[in-house]
Amino acid sequence: MNLAAILLALLGAFSTFYLAKHHRLDAIRASAILSIVAYLILLPTEFNAELYSSIFFGGSFIGMSAPKRFGIYTLFSSSIIFAVMFENLIPYFNNFGGALGVSAFLSVCICQVAIILGAPRSKKHH
């Protein structure tokens, strides 16, 4: 597991979560703005900008669903699950998009099912 992938997924989720929640942007605009900025920052580096900006974008998917469903602990857990699943699903898809969407969807679903089954939940602050 690549530590950079985990950190980027966490950064994407938390930054989208807080930008959408505190700056009166909707979650879609927050995700789009932050993903473009992440790509532009990663472009001149030695990292694979397409791969790592996709991981950030997938993390922002989690941040988009989190303000209404999750608190910060569940957001954190879902981001970690996403990073692990994304890395393991890439070989089964032709492009990043399929693994990206499936990983983000499943990570949010896993955390939602865990909450329904009684997993501890962080308190939401309004």
What one-character-per-residue DSSP string does 30-98 give? HHHHHHHHHHHHHTTSSS-HHHHHHHHHHHHHHHHHHHHH--HHHHHHHHHHHHHHHHHHGGGSSSHHH
What CA–CA distances, in Å, run from 92 to 102, 103, 106, 110? 11, 12, 15, 20
pLDDT of residue 16: 92
Taking only the tens of pLDDT, the chain with its 126 residues reads 589 999 999 999 999 998 988 777 888 899 999 999 999 999 999 888 888 999 999 999 999 886 667 788 889 999 999 999 988 887 777 776 777 888 888 998 998 898 888 877 665 554
| CA–CA separation, 69 and 51 (whole Å) | 28
Q: Angle at Cα 80 formed by Cα 77 and Cα 85, nearest 5°? A: 125
